[in-house]
């Protein structure tokens, strides 16, 4: 073949050299020729198209940052989010680079951005509980617009590249938190089209997934090859072909995700078919991965997770969730276990329609495994939560020591043989006397439990128990424990019980032994938690609820002694634990006698002697009423500590701030009487001394009769009724008689007096009070003024009305200086309260020869409607009519008689009637 001539080769080299040189020249010239134009156009585009504050340090135009693309690189880039997150960063990056289409730049003289490069970025996506997101920063085009001639920059992406970045997705509306570190992403496609496919490669070095505060994935590596169809007109995503790998577990992901104006529309399918069981464990939290390194795992598994429907928080519209898992031919053997857990078989399916727990369906169609010849097998199906329908069959014969070694259970040593056979089918609805038809037996022999949290085990555990209910009702329920026993710290515990008919319970219970609750709790929980207490029991109870309620005490056989020390008990009605410091209880028939019972609640202390009745029924059922009679003494009671607690969270990113609000709730199933004495009581800053009285707690109400106490230096007699309407509201009703107390001290020390008699701030002298008031208290135990009703008499013995703006204004208007700070003596002021108004009956007094007469109204918000007649010396026959309006702070005084009644404010709700019989002074 003829060789090309030397001249042709030289020409080709020249042309190639000139072409290459021209290209290199252009690569250097274009950034020099167009830098201002490109930077200005990009800034104009950003201002027009981005609804968020954009900042960067400097802009560089070059071919060499992301060769061969011509890119405008913005260093120290940051972009704020959209409302309501305008002040928080959406994206920050060391570099944000925009690729420029060279042909459009040279020939069309326009700037087309076709690539985006992000490196070392922090991408912080937030969605609040209302579904409002911070990523809505791009202003999309209207469907029909006139041609824009103000700018020549457009966004026609065909590539997005993210390198070594940190992505956080925090969605409070769905309670999903994703934290991805070492995030690398490359997306290619015809992104300039309205509808396009994007081909994605992604890697995440460290991936965390949390739902509703529970972390499901932690420190996982993720690889993904995805094909996603994106519709920019409707901002919809269709996940067509997506292959993921979470650590070693392969996962297929498909579905769609549409952004709505007020939420999302989702249809996700995540599945892993015929995967290795070993690979499944690699996708679990790190503790399982550490365990896996020492464990042989075989078998296959199928996983399917679906999420379908709309999530619109404002409409309380939520999607359906389902999860299905199957395990076949599973085997687990930890280290050198003598036998593996083999033949593991599982069919698990759960559905949660509309994220509604009342529609929750859990279907464990079957679970089975062997350890040598031992086995566990079960089928459990439930539907609903508060009134679940149950279908369960559980059968086992398992040596726990072999199972412990085969599974490699951490921090725990289990031994003993557990034999169980349980069948249960039906509805659990305690309110309507329904429980599943049940037949079950449990036999636990030579049990042993030891944990890393406590040096000594619970051992010699033996339990023989049965539960039987043939009719599916509480009155047919039978529970037999014959017997149960264990040894802890060298001390044996023995319990034997037979319970029948939980509507009219018949019981036969024997218990004997000593138990340190703090130490036994430490067996199961980490050290440092404050759970303490000592129980010593030698008791025997036999009888029926019917005999106890009808007074047939001779048929009861309840006897024995129970000693408690430093026991903490909690209740749904109280925000703090009630501590029994010391108590010896002796049982006889229906009574539980208290001997020198010492207790504490917060700062409050109590000493009681007396008895409780119906204790056994109260403990075993929720219908029984606990009765009792006590001599109660306290050195100090802080009533504020008995108020219920509500959680207030101002920001989910911050620690919850707990505020103590809520009324004191009286349990409805108490009938307790106390002959009470207390040296000191604190209630909302009110200091009460030397309380005596008869206290009764019955049917959710507290009644205090014939009580006396010292307040602000005076002896007070009071009758009181108190009860809660809810945890946020309560009613009260009291009569009070207080003789000759210092008005100035009362104003300074009694909050309610200060609020109801605001004008008495500077008054001095002695007054008496005989009053009755009923009303409603709010969540802070403060009175709701429109709800108050009542009335009574305020008797003035000798008071200097110093600083009363009402008298000062009248003095100024009439020119009578003596009326400015009058001295009152032997005056009875009668008032009534209703609908936020205090009505003042007509009363007279003498001052410096004048004979004033006053009547009218004032409101709890300080408004005045007072009629006054100023009788002139010497006998007051001739008088000046005066009317006072305005407020207590700024009274308006005019001559005349005609006034308008103040507007009443009616309370919308139930208001108790005042106690008819007033407290009697003694």
- Lowest-pLDDT range of 147-161, 316-330, 389-403: 147-161
Is the per-residue pLDDT at 379 higher than 70? yes
CA distance 466 to 441: 4
Q: What is the pLDDT of residue 444?
A: 94
- 57-82 mean pLDDT: 72
pLDDT band at 819 (very low <50, low <70, confident <90, very high): low
- For 825-844, what is the mean pLDDT? 85
| d(C-alpha 486, C-alpha 36), whole Å | 86
Residue 525 has a CB neighbour count (10 Å cut-off) of: 12
Record the tokens describing residue 280, joined without a space: 């499944």
Question: What average pLDDT does range 184-207 have in this prediction?
Answer: 77
Provide the pLDDT confidence category of residue 814 given band limits of 50, 70 and 90: low
pLDDT value at 298 more than 60: yes
Mean pLDDT of 306-316: 86
Other CB atoms closer than 10 Å to residue 641's CB: what's the count? 16
At 134, is the pLDDT very low, low, confident or very high (cuts 50, 70, 90)? Answer: confident
The pLDDT assigned to 139 comes to: 63
The predicted pLDDT at position 173 comes to 81
Q: Quick one: which of 135, 157, 146, 140 has its CA closest to 233?
A: 140
pLDDT at position 232: 64
Exposed / middle / buried, residue 724 (Cβ in 10 Å: 0-12, 13-18, 19+): buried
Residue 687 confidence (pLDDT): 80
pLDDT of 683 over the 70 cut: yes
pLDDT in tens, 325-373: 999 999 999 888 899 999 999 999 999 999 888 899 999 988 999 999 9
| 463-479 average pLDDT score | 93
Average pLDDT, the chain: 79
Structure token digits, residue 385? 């939560």
397 or 195, which is more confident: 397
515 contacts 485 by C-beta, under 8 angstroms: no
Burial of 383 (0-12, 13-18, 19+ CB in 10 A): middle
- Confidence at residue 480, expressed as pLDDT on a 0 to 100 scale: 95
Confidence of residue 415 (pLDDT cuts 50, 70, 90): very high
Residue 420's pLDDT band, with cuts at 50, 70 and 90, is very high
Residues paired with residue 323 on neighbouring β-strands, in sequence order: 305, 350
Q: What is the DSSP letter of 362?
A: E
Lowest mean pLDDT, pick from 132-136, 320-324, 590-594: 132-136
pLDDT digits (tens, 9 = 90+) for 232-247: 666 677 777 677 788 7
pLDDT band at 767 (very low <50, low <70, confident <90, very high): confident
State how far the Cα of 150 lies from the Cα of 810, in Å rounded to an integer.
Answer: 74
Per-residue confidence (pLDDT) for residue 755, from 0 to 100: 61
d(CA 726, CA 4): 102
Task: Retrieve residue 349's tokens.
Answer: 């399916």
What is the Rg, in whole angstroms, of the alpha carbon atoms belonging to the chain?
A: 40
Say what the alpha-carbon torsion angle 51, 55, 61, 62 is, to the nearest 10 degrees: -100
Of all residues in the chain, the percent with pLDDT exceeding 70 is: 77
* 117 vs 68, higher pLDDT: 117
| Pairing outcome for strands 670-683 and 626-638 | parallel
Of residues 816 and 487, more confidently modeled: 487
- 485 Cβ partners below 8 Å, 6+ apart? 460, 461, 462, 463, 492, 493, 494, 495
Residue 651 confidence (pLDDT): 40
922 confidence band (pLDDT: 50, 70, 90): very low
The pLDDT of residue 545 is 80
Under a CB-based contact definition with an 8 Å cutoff, are residues 841 and 899 in contact? no
- d(CA 200, CA 462) in angstroms, rounded, equals 60
Q: How far apart are CA 543 and CA 806, in angstroms?
A: 71
What pLDDT was estimated at residue 654? Answer: 36
pLDDT exceeds 50 at position 150:
no
The residue assigned the tokens 């070693």 is 248
* More confident of the two residues 528 and 589: 589
| Highest-pLDDT range among 87-101, 723-737, 814-828, 901-915 | 723-737
Angle at 444 between CA 443 and CA 446, to 5 degrees: 140
What is the torsion angle, in degrees rounded to the nearest 10, for the CA atoms of residue 275, residue 278, residue 284 and residue 288?
Answer: 170
Q: What is the pLDDT of residue 578?
A: 78
Per-residue model confidence (pLDDT) at position 11: 60
pLDDT-based confidence at 818, cuts 50/70/90?
low
Weakest-pLDDT range from 131-145, 430-444, 786-800 = 131-145
Q: Give the mean pLDDT of 367-393.
A: 93
Residue 188 has pLDDT above 80, yes or no: no
What does the pLDDT average to over 751-780?
Answer: 74
Return d(Cα 586, Cα 608) in angstroms, integer: 14
């Amino acid at each position: 073949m003829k060789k090309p001539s030397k001249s042709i080769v030289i020409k080709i080299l020249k042309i190639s050299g000139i072409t290459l040189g021209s290209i290199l020249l252009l690569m250097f010239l274009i950034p020099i020729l167009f830098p201002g134009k490109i930077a200005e156009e990009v800034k104009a585009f950003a201002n027009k198209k981005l609804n968020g504050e954009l900042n960067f340090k400097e802009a560089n135009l070059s071919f060499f940052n992301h060769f061969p693309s011509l890119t405008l690189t913005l260093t120290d880039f940051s972009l704020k989010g959209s409302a309501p997150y305008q002040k928080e960063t959406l994206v920050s990056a060391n570099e944000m680079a925009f690729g420029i289409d060279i042909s459009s730049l040279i020939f069309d003289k326009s700037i087309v951005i076709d690539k985006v490069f992000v490196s070392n970025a922090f991408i912080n996506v937030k969605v609040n509980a209302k579904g409002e997101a911070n990523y809505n920063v791009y202003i999309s085009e209207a469907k029909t617009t006139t041609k824009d001639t103000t700018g020549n920059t457009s966004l026609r992406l065909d590539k997005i590249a993210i390198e070594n970045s940190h992505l956080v997705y925090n969605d409070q509306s769905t309670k999903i938190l994703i934290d991805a570190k070492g995030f690398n992403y490359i997306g290619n496609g015809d992104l300039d089209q309205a509808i396009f496919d994007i081909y994605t490669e992604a890697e995440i070095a460290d991936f965390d997934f949390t739902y509703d505060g529970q972390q499901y994935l932690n420190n996982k590596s993720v690889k993904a090859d995805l094909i996603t169809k994106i519709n920019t007109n409707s901002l919809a995503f269709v996940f067509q072909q997506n292959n993921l790998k979470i650590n070693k577990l392969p996962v297929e992901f498909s579905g769609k995700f549409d952004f709505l104006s007020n939420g999302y529309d989702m249809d996700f399918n995540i599945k892993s078919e015929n995967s290795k069981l070993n690979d499944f464990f690699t996708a679990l939290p790190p503790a399982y991965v550490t365990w896996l390194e020492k464990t042989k795992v075989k078998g296959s598994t199928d996983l399917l997770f679906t999420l379908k429907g709309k999530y619109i928080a404002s409409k309380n519209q939520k999607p359906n969730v389902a999860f299905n898992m199957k395990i076949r031919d599973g085997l687990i053997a930890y280290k050198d276990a003598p036998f593996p857990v083999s033949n593991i078989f599982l069919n698990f399916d759960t559905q949660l329609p509309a994220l509604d727990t009342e529609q929750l369906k859990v279907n464990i169609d079957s679970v089975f495994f062997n350890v040598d010849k031992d086995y566990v097998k079960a089928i459990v199906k439930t539907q609903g939560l508060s009134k679940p329908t149950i279908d369960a069959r559980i059968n086992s014969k398992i040596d726990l020591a072999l199972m412990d070694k085969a599974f490699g259970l951490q921090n725990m040593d289990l031994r003993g043989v557990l034999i169980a056979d349980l069948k249960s089918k039906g509805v659990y609805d305690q309110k309507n006397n329904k429980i599943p038809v049940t037949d079950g037996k449990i036999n636990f022999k030579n049990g042993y439990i030891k944990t890393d949290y406590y040096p000594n085990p619970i051992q010699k555990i033996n339990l023989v128990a049965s539960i039987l209910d043939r009719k599916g009702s509480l009155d047919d329920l039978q529970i037999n424990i014959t017997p149960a026993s264990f040894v802890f710290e060298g001390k044996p515990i023995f319990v034997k019980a037979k319970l029948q008919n939980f509507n009219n319970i018949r019981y036969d219970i024997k218990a004997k032994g000593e138990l340190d609750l703090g130490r036994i709790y430490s067996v199961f929980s980490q050290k440092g938690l404050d759970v303490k207490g000592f129980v010593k029991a030698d008791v025997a109870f036999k009888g029926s609820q019917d005999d106890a309620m009808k007074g047939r005490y001779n048929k009861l056989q309840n006897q024995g002694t129970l000693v408690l020390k430093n026991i903490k008990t909690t209740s749904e009605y109280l925000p703090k634990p009630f501590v029994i410091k010391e108590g010896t209880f002796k049982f006889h028939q229906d009574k539980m006698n208290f001997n020198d019972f010492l207790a504490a609640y917060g700062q409050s202390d109590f000493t009681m002697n007396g008895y409780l009745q119906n204790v056994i029924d109260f403990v075993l059922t929720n219908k029984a009423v606990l009765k009792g009679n006590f001599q109660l003494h306290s050195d100090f009671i802080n009533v504020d500590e008995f108020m219920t607690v509500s959680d207030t969270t101002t920001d989910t990113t911050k620690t919850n701030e707990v505020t103590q609000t809520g009324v004191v709730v009286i349990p409805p199933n108490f009938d307790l009487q106390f002959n009470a004495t207390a040296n000191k009581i604190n209630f909302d800053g009110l200091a009460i001394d030397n309380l005596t009285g008869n206290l009764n707690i019955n049917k959710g109400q507290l009644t205090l009769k014939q009580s006396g106490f010292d307040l602000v230096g005076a002896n007070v007699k009071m009758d009181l009724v108190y009860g809660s309407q809810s945890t946020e509201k309560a009613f009260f009703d009291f009569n009070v008689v207080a003789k000759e107390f210092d008005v100035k001290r009362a104003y300074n020390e009694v909050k309610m007096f200060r609020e109801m008699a605001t004008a008495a701030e500077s008054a001095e002298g002695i007054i008496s009070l005989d009053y009755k008031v009923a009303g409603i208290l709010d969540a802070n135990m403060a009175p709701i003024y429109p709800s108050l009703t009542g009335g009574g008499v305020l008797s003035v013995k000798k008071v200097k009305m110093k600083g009363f703006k009402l008298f000062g204004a009248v003095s100024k208007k009439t020119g009578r200086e003596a009326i400015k700070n009058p001295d009152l003596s032997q005056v009875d002021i009668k008032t009534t309260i209703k609908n936020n108004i205090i009505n003042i009956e007509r009363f007279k007094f003498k001052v410096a020869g004048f004979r004033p007469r006053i009547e009218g109204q004032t409101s709890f918000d300080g408004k005045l409607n007072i009629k006054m007649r100023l009788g002139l010396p010497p006998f007051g026959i001739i008088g000046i009519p005066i009317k006072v309006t305005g407020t207590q702070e700024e009274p308006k005084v005019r001559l005349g008689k005609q006034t308008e009644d103040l507007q009443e404010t009616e309370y919308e709700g139930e208001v108790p009637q005042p106690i008819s019989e007033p407290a009697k002074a003694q």
